[in-house]
Amino acid sequence: MMADARKFLVSGATSGIGLAITQRLLREGHQVVALGRNFTQFESQCSGALTKIPIDLSQLDELPKQLNEIGKTHPDIDGLICCAGRGQFGSLEEFSFAQINALMSLNFTSQAYLTRAFLPGLKRQKRGNLIYIGSEAALSGGRRGAIYCASKFALRGMAQALREECARSHLHICIINPGMVKTAFFDELNFEPGEEETNYVEAEDVAEAVNLVLNARAGTVIDEINLSPLKKVVQFKKR
């Protein structure tokens, strides 16, 4: 293992952006503690110093105990990369009360729980990274995106506040806000990015941004990165 290799916990590691980040970290010689719901296809896609932990971050009642156990098993975590989340869109009145709670719970509250569980240890170490995968929806509210945007605005607000809270502990806090990324994120949605390569961001682009953040000089913090396709094109699927 590399002399400067570190150990990162990655949520949402089994698909899309989280998978690309996990693969990049392993190629760079780091250890990864991967959190995800379904590892069926995971082993054939990743190799290296990898620990797999099946967990459903949407089950908030069980999460504190589960995270506490992970922390006991892995007290040497050097950083968190929070990628878990999903998309759901529609006008506000199209959401049930339960759907509002579920989307906010996964996209924001579970990320806050993760941070709360590992932040004390990172502060004691006086080093580490907290990286959150946000969205362009965290920058501007959009039609039919009230709850999704709210979840990402909340995540961005937390990252900004933590930046102020954690500077004296030498922790680096960053949020990365991609535009439409060509992943399975859109499989269950009625729209997707255009087909031209200039119409979307790739998951590997986000992984490259994460690598940039992790290799920044110790005295410099990259607070926020916004990634956008060169040409924003949205196409709706035929039903």
Contact 160, 197 (CB under 8 A): no
pTM of the model: 0.93
Written as six digits, the tokens of 60 are 């908030």
Q: Any idea which residue has 């503690």 for tokens? A: 33
Query: What local confidence, expressed as pLDDT, does residue 1 receive?
Result: 45
Could you give phi then psi for residue 187, rounded to 5 degrees? Answer: -60, -40
Give the number of other CB atoms < 10 A from CB of residue 25. 29
Query: What local confidence, expressed as pLDDT, does residue 216 receive?
Result: 94
7-236, superfamily in CATH?
NAD(P)-binding Rossmann-like Domain (3.40.50.720)
List, in order, residues 6 or more apart from 93 with CB less than 8 Å away.
none
The CA distances from residue 43 to 3, 6, 167, in Å, are: 25, 21, 37
Domain limits of the chain? Answer: 7-236
31-65 b/e (C-beta count within 10 Å ≥ 16 → b): bbbbbbeeeeebeeebeeebebbebbbbeeeebee
Written as six digits, the tokens of 134 are 């946000």
Task: Tell me the mean pLDDT per 10 residues along the chain, length 239.
Answer: 80 94 95 91 71 95 97 96 92 96 97 97 94 95 92 98 95 96 81 87 96 94 96 83
Query: What local confidence, expressed as pLDDT, does residue 124 receive?
Result: 94
